[in-house]
Chains A and B, each alone.
Chain A
Amino acid sequence: MPNMIVCVKQIADPEAPPTSFKIDEAAKTMVPAQGVSQVVSPFDEQAVEAALKIKDAQGGKITVISLGKNFVMDVIKKPLSMGADELVLLQDPAFDGGDSHSTAYALAMAIKKVGQFDLIFCGRQAADWDAGQVGAGIAENLGIPSITPIKKVDIKDGKVTIERVITDGFEVVECTAPMLLMVSNELGEPRYPKLKGIMAAAKKQPINWKASDIGADASKCGTAGAKAKLTKIFQPVKEGKCEIISADTPEEAGAALAVKLREARLI
């Protein structure tokens, strides 16, 4: 039965209305708006779902690892309530200010400490910084193959069969375990936790590791280990000059829109 590891990230809900989105240019990050909740990054939930599909079919163990801070237990335990077995949280000021390089290094060190694995899953990109790199970096650190973005995966006798999304369809790729997969939304909607799963997750205690617990070299963690430097962040300016076509009935408004587009030489 396969041993599986899923890496997930807790982020501010990316589906929050764009109007509530604010950045702090000096601090070079986003400012969490009031009332915007924390969630598991959507592609990471799909990564959990990909692992659960394999567990459904052939059993196995799923260990979820998350690097971050200010964890909201109800949020970060969601993969457990969906059906994962263990949760490891990596929290340490040493991890602050990291980029894809330092994050991938720390996650790889934690995975080495977990020990056995056949498949590692990540989301194709975290829906905050959208870098799309941590998965590949973990695999490079561990010296195993990686692939992105994937919509389907199966494993049998150590042989992994993957469907990788391309522009007009997909490629079928075969590989050998252990390997790392970066999961895309084409996999389909992740399952909703069932009440039984939520109750079981509530009782389960996460394992907490610091940089020293995983033998991480401080010079490779957080800001010290980062290779990319963000020099500036800004919001693109939107013009926002929409002419609303209105009429007595929706049908008349529809017809008037067509006339308007004709007048503007758009059709």
Chain B
Amino acid sequence: MADNKGVMIFGEVIDGKLAASTLELLGGGRGLADTLGEPLMLALVGSGVGACAKDGIAYGADKVFVADDAALKNYTNDAYVNVMEKIVKQVMPNILLMGMTPIVRDLAPRLAFRLGTAVSMDCLKLEIDSASKLLLMTRPVFGGNARGVYVCEKAKPQMAAVRAKVMDPKPKNDSKTGEVVNVAAGLDVSKLKMKNVATKKEQVAGIKLEDADVIISGGRGLGSAEGFKLLQPLATALKAAVGASRPPCDNGWVSPSIQIGLTGKIVSPSLYIAVAISGSSQHMAGCSGSKNIIAINKDSEANIFKEARFGVVGDFNKILPAFTNKVKELVK
């Protein structure tokens, strides 16, 4: 265990390029590696991912391990766990960092158990403890009501899945040099039990939540799918995306793909207008990174007002149309 060295990033490739989350991890991982005086490494697993190795070096990696195999084209838990297990056992990194992505939510816990180590999911902060040189991992617990700081003393690698935008990428440096090592995936396809047979993307009309600078979000208090329609004119006027807290999604008023919260999307727009949302911790966990939160709610004691900059207490049916009309007048 004492021999484990280096910070390894599990990289993801989207549309032939390193994912934004991977660039962030390379930036943050570089800092951790330098603090420890250890190398930064990148693992690329998939089909046709080898071409991204040189970008990995340009964004900070000293060494890139590539497992490029047609059998890894679509993510499945059993294939990816097997390949990552092989790479980690070969390289023996001290720390393994992953982005909090849909793949990692499924991959990281199983990989940690396979390797006999622990992983902290959805980390908001990583730092090296100056005395023990171990990784301190801060993550939300109790639905975002509190933060826990975890350490993994008994096993290696120390594993963390990091939330998007927690770390910053470093500028690309094409003159930086590094080593690329090809690793045979060595999969026995006949032994794999899982098969990804289709990917169904739901088209959400308008601006994507992750990209939006302004988000109008509705909650349980809107009462119905009809109530949600009141948000649309305001969204159009402000070129905003429409989001929701969990109850409207679970009640089928809107698509689950627009859910904002601990178990949905995590957003950080400049302006977040919350209509008829009480502000449960699990919802706030998804939007508290917003620069300005505005609340419209009939309950003056609602938690959302504790996090909002401006608020109006009252019935959204009356407030929202007047607000929307005035917004239209002001922004035109």
Chain A interface residues (CB < 8 Å from chain B): 14-15, 17-19, 21, 23, 30, 99-101, 104, 124-125, 127-133, 135-137, 139-141, 145-149, 151, 164-176, 179, 184-186, 188-189, 227-236, 238, 240-246, 249-255, 257-262, 264, 266-267
Contact = CB atoms under 8 A, between A and B. Distances in A.
Given A148-B106, A168-B201, A267-B330, A14 B112 contact: no
A234 B149 CA distance: 9
6 contacts: A18-B279, A130-B121, A132-B109, A233-B149, A235-B147, A242-B309
A167 to B, nearest CB: 6
Interface residues of B, number: 99
Contact of B150 (A230, A251, A266): A230
Given A227-B116, A246-B312, 6 more contacts: A145-B193, A231-B149, A243-B310, A244-B305, A254-B296, A257-B294
Contact of B303 (A19, A136, A137): A19
Is chain B's binding surface mostly helix, strand, loop or mixed? mixed
Top 9 A-B residue pairs of the complex, sorted by shortest distance between their CB atoms: A254-B322, A258-B326, A254-B323, A250-B318, A136-B109, A228-B118, A140-B113, A254-B319, A227-B118
Nearest to B308: A242
Contact of A233 (B141, B197, B198): B141
B282 A253 contact: no
Contact of A101 (B101, B118, B296): B118
Interface of B: 74-78, 101-102, 105-106, 109-110, 112-114, 116-122, 136, 139-143, 145-155, 193-202, 204, 210, 214, 238, 246, 249-252, 256-257, 262-263, 265, 270-271, 279-282, 284, 292, 294-296, 300, 303, 305-315, 318-327, 329-331
A249 B263 CA distance: 37
A242 B295 contact: yes
Contact of B322 (A137, A244, A251, A266): A251
Contacts of A176: 193
A229 B307 contact: no
Interface centre among B152, B308, B319, B324 (most CB of A within 10 A): B319
A251 B256 CA distance: 31
Given A18-B280, A165-B102, A253 B326 contact: no
